Chain A
Amino acid sequence: EAGVAQSPRYKIIEKRQSVAFWCNPISGHATLYWYQQILGQGPKLLIQFQNNGVVDDSQLPKDRFSAERLKGVDSTLKIQPAKLEDSAVYLCASSLGRDRGLDTQYFGPGTRLTVL
């Protein structure tokens, strides 16, 4: 079974530029999550989708971050414009979406973003 795929793996940009990350979840997984992991910290949930609807985006900085999952499968996370403090690893995860609180989340390898 293929895991969660993410691309690119690494990205270096200058502040005020835009960047986009792509995630393809495990086939059949209804729930998709984007996390931000700053160096030395645990992952922080940015946004959670159930199929193509947003379940939780309370910690997404909506003035600069956006995410979509138009067809309920793969997803894109965008930052526009980027700030220095956005330097982090962006992790995508997916789960079946059947058992609230019991689902195991499967994580992709992440995209490491460096903002100069």
Chain B
Amino acid sequence: AQSVTQLGSHVSVSEGALVLLRCNYSSSVPPYLFWYVQYPNQGLQLLLKYTTGATLVKGINGFEAEFKKSETSFHLTKPSAHMSDAAEYFCAVSGKAAGNKLTFGGGTRVLVKP
């Protein structure tokens, strides 16, 4: 069984400040981990994913995430927030044994203050 916990349903950051979104997962098999972003009235767009290899993964729009197996975490960061980063972010887990089935966390809504 797989599950994802995203700490904080809402995060408020100032423009130019660090964005940190927390994600912890549970998986009985080696996980594949994903971050998706959802803008209002739109579908989900893949930001980045970890499958194997390098644990620091770089994605689009300046985001990156680090897989830490010992902490079962996959936190998402961006050094400097931009107004366009205001959206909802979802962490998800899958795995080879899960047949590409994604299990999502509850999401974190990011508000960027000018």
Majority SS at the chain A contact face: loop
| List of B residues within 8 angstroms of A100 by Cβ | 96, 99-100
> Per a CB cutoff under 8 Å, which of A31, A42, A55, A108 touches B107?
A42
User: Footprint of A on B, CB under 8 Å?
Assistant: 4, 9, 32, 36, 41-46, 49, 51, 90, 92, 94-107
Known: A107-B43, A107-B45. A101 touches B106 (CB 8 A): no
B90 touches A43 (CB 8 A): yes
- Smallest CB separation, B32 vs chain A (Å): 5
Pick the contact of A102 from B43, B51, B103 — CB < 8 Å? B51
Return chain A residues, CB-CB under 8 Å to B96.
Answer: 100-101
Q: Is the CB of A43 within 8 A of B95?
A: no
Instruction: Check if B44 sits within 8 Å of A91, measured CB to CB.
Output: yes
CB proximity of B114 to chain A, nearest CB, Å = 26
Tell me the A residues contacting B by CB distance below 8 Å: 4, 31, 40-45, 48, 55-56, 91, 93, 95, 100-110
Q: Are B43 and A109 in contact (CB under 8 A)?
A: yes
Q: A91-B44, A107-B45 are in contact. Are A42 and B101 (CB under 8 A)?
A: no
Are the CB atoms of B99 and A45 closer together than 8 Å?
A: no
A40 cross-chain contacts in B, Cβ below 8 A: 9, 106-107
Name the residue of chain A whose CB is nearest to the CB of B42: A109
CA distance A21 to B24 in the complex (A): 33
B43 A4 Cβ-Cβ under 8 A: yes
Residues of chain A within 8 A (CB-CB) of B4 are 42
Q: Which 10 A-B pairs have the closest CB atoms?
A: A42-B104, A107-B43, A101-B96, A107-B44, A109-B43, A108-B43, A101-B32, A43-B104, A42-B106, A42-B90
Q: Contacts of B9 on A, CB cut-off 8 Å?
A: 40
**Once the chains bind, are A103 and B100 in contact (CB under 8 Å)?**
yes
Residue pair A43, B100 in contact (C-beta under 8 Å):
no
- Give CA–CA (A72, B36) in the complex, Å: 26
Contacts of A109 in B (CB 8 A): 41-43
Residues of A with C-beta under 8 A to B105: 42
